[in-house]
Amino acid sequence: DAKTTQPNSMESNEEEPVHLPCNHSTISGTDYIHWYRQLPSQGPEYVIHGLTSNVNNRMASLAIAEDRKSSTLILHRATLRDAAVYYCILKEVFGNEKLTFGTGTRLTIIP
């Protein structure tokens, strides 16, 4: 599986936007970029995914670099409930359905 690299931790002030980066320089043309997050003592939850174009949903936006070697998850207005570990995962469209979790980014929201 292609590997992703994320910062171990980030902090952000409440009610400000948060940009969570992910590098995936070995991404292949058939890899989708998925983001999940895990709140304390809970199972992960899906956030967003995309292939080439930027994506928006009610939770977040995903900005994908033109060469697809990096992406950024954008939380437009962070709340305390957004404090979690955020995982950036590559998933091959024709491959098996497994998700391989890296270490993720632990996001702390400062009130």
User: Given the rule CB under 8 A, which residues bind other proteins?
Assistant: 32, 34, 36, 38, 41-46, 49, 51, 87, 91, 93-94, 96-104
By beta-carbon proximity to other proteins, the closer residue of 21 and 32 is: 32
Minimum Å distance from CB 70 to other proteins? 20
By beta-carbon proximity to other proteins, the closer residue of 13 and 100 is: 100
Minimum Å distance from CB 13 to other proteins? 25
Minimum Å distance from CB 16 to other proteins? 27
Q: In what order do the strands lie in the sheet containing 45-50?
A: 9-13, 105-110, 84-92, 31-38, 45-50
CA distances from 46 to 16, 29, 33, 34, 105 (A): 22, 22, 12, 8, 15
- Would you tell me how many other CB atoms lie within 10 Å of the CB of residue 38? 16
